[in-house]
Amino acid sequence: MMASSSSDLRRRMSPEDYKLACEIAVKRFKERKVEISDAIKTPFPFLETLRDNKLITNKIYEESKASCENQSAVPKVVYAVLNKMKEKCHLPLLEILFSEFMMKSYPDLNGICKGFKDVIENKILNQASTGGESAENRNTQLNIEQGTGENSYPFLSWLSLDKSNYTVTSSADSAECRNRKRASQRFHLSTE
């Protein structure tokens, strides 16, 4: 299936690709906490949004807010908050960070979000084109619960990718392609 210019890779990802995308997003979040912290210049609306979404407690909110009285301390406080986040909160946090509202509030998050998208997109498209091992077959640490239907991927709504030059195949198509390659190789070997 050929991707259109207004495509959304997230909607076309197989469950294995979605799991891989979540793993990449969490890994990248852990590697980019300093950059994310530096992009957040003011405590409002960052701290309030985390508290409202129950990603931080009122106690952490109050302590962090008090620590932000000195504006130059804001990135350090944000980093401390990000560092305290539990692993299970990383994907919901990314949903918030890369929401349209937050990226308008903190424009420097736009470049960080683009970096996340590029890394995820390249890995998934590369895996689809090479027929690489799926995320389902690897030993993963993430426990991702998926819903059903159109909202089957509760996280990564910010992952709207636009690459009209790529062909994205489902895992079934990839498996079929690999099987054809193997059959072709066996045929060539038997005729030599």
Residue spans of the domains in the chain: they are 9-191
User: Given this model, what pLDDT does residue 131 score?
Assistant: 64
The 10s digit of each residue's pLDDT in 65-77 is: 999 988 789 999 9
The 10s digit of each residue's pLDDT in 124-173 is: 888 777 765 544 443 333 333 333 344 445 678 888 644 333 333 344 44
In the numeric block, the tokens 């590029």 are attached to 118
User: Given this model, what pLDDT does residue 172 score?
Assistant: 45
pLDDT at 174 over 70: no
- Tell me how long the chain is: 192
User: Given this model, what pLDDT does residue 181 score?
Assistant: 46
Which residues partner with 2 through β-bridges? Answer: 167
pTM score of the predicted model: 0.67
d(CA 34, CA 112): 11
The 10s digit of each residue's pLDDT in 33-66 is: 999 999 999 999 999 999 999 999 999 999 999 9
User: Given this model, what pLDDT does residue 9 score?
Assistant: 56
Instruction: Check residues 139 and 114 and name the one with the higher pLDDT.
Output: 114
Q: In 45-170, where does DSSP find H-type helix?
A: 46-52, 58-67, 74-84, 90-97, 100-105, 109-130
